[in-house]
Amino acid sequence: MLEQIFLVKQDVEKYRMLTVIKSLPPREVNLSNISNRLQFTYQKTYNIFQALLEDLADVAPDIDPSDTKIESIDFSKIPIDTYRLYLVKNSVVFQAFNYGLTSTNPSFESFSNDHFTSKSTLNRRMSKFRAFLKNFGLKISNSTLEIKGNENNIRWMAYYVYWYIYHGQEWPFALIQENSIDQIMGRAGITFDNPIVHFQLKYFLAISRIRLIKRNYIDELPFYKDVFGDQNLGEEILTHDDYPIVPANALDNENKLINLFRKTAFQPSDTAFEQPINANARINPKFYALVYHFIDFLKEHYHDDMTVYHDQKTLKHIMTYVTRDIVFYYIMAPYSIMHLDTMFNDDDERTYTDLYKDIYTFFSNIDQNEFRESTMRRN
């Protein structure tokens, strides 16, 4: 998805080629098969492969550069995530986004000069990125390259981009020292058995630090308040000593947002049911009612196939999962592309499972008056 936004056509083609190669059994890796999969001419496929070979010299230096035949290259040494990161990091559009978000005093003109590209060329290349930002209700400044809009939207968008692109492979934030984030997590006693969620929270905390340093504060969390009122989901992770000039209310909102992600989005699936999100705060009863209604809907719809309904332990686990997802979706989807309407198109309905369609039907029929501020609203 983001590859189409940040990369030029030639890079997208190379990335697509590698994904096809990685999907084929080794004995079937040849230009003819790849050409058929990509629906390109043999000559075009050959040209893309030659360009891919040049990249592999940088991405996988242990591969013998004399191996120019596709059948003789060990593609298992080239993780697809590593190649995607390589391409995106070298994308001028991504560099512009990263520059505007993390630099202390960014300037569109300075960036253009440093990268030997005109403002008109960069603007043209950023057209897809601007469309992507629009999904979050955001814009990119024509004078500073900074992202403009609701701060909650910016946090969610920035995390989404950095996590998708870097995925824990390396530290993305030159402005923030990684050990400073480790110290914050260590002081708060935050540990995860799963290294993935550990890095997810570190990325989110680093983005928080960048925004606070640049004095971009979260003024309000209205959807959070619908669910939890003024309660916090956990201990204070960021303190006044960390950010003495940040207003108390803004710092409180910061901790609420961080703990929301920590307790809902950043939970390993094999242990999430053991830590109900209401352990530290009471949830608005209407959300519990929605969860019960959803479980009853499944029971009524699937009848005897819903045997889990009679297993109280498993049912409790399912309800914990569903509660966590509904709460997170309700609070964060208004700030992102996660609107229900955009996730299900009639044109590709056949690609979805019956269960997916049933879940969609349930949530699309929620009482819009009771959940009028929810993410089920129309765009």
Residue 237 corresponds to which amino acid?
I
Structure tokens given for 309: 């309904």
Nearest to 53 by CA among 42, 43, 39, 67: 67
Indicate the pTM of the whole model. Answer: 0.86
Task: List pLDDT tens digits, range 149-199.
Answer: 999 999 999 999 999 999 999 999 999 999 999 999 999 998 888 889 999
> How much is the pLDDT for 77?
87
For residues 106 and 126, give the distance between their C-alpha atoms in angstroms, rounded to a whole number: 17
> How much is the pLDDT for 305?
65
Mean pLDDT, the chain, rounded, equals: 86
| CATH architecture, domain 2-80 | Orthogonal Bundle (1.10)
- pLDDT of 356 higher than 90: no
Residue 299 makes CB contacts below 8 A (sequence gap 6+) with 306, 309
Instruction: Average the pLDDT over 20-35 and give the result.
Output: 94
Report the range of poorest mean pLDDT among 124-133, 202-211, 318-327, 342-351. 342-351
Task: List pLDDT tens digits, range 204-239.
Answer: 999 999 999 999 999 999 889 999 998 888 889 999
Residue 289 makes CB contacts below 8 A (sequence gap 6+) with none
User: What are the residue ranges spanned by the domains of the chain?
Assistant: 2-80, 283-364
Of the chain, the end-to-end C-alpha distance in Å amounts to 21
306 band by pLDDT with thresholds 50, 70 and 90? low
Q: Is 232 helix (H, G, I), strand (E, B) or coil?
A: coil
- pLDDT of 369 higher than 70: no
> How much is the pLDDT for 341?
43
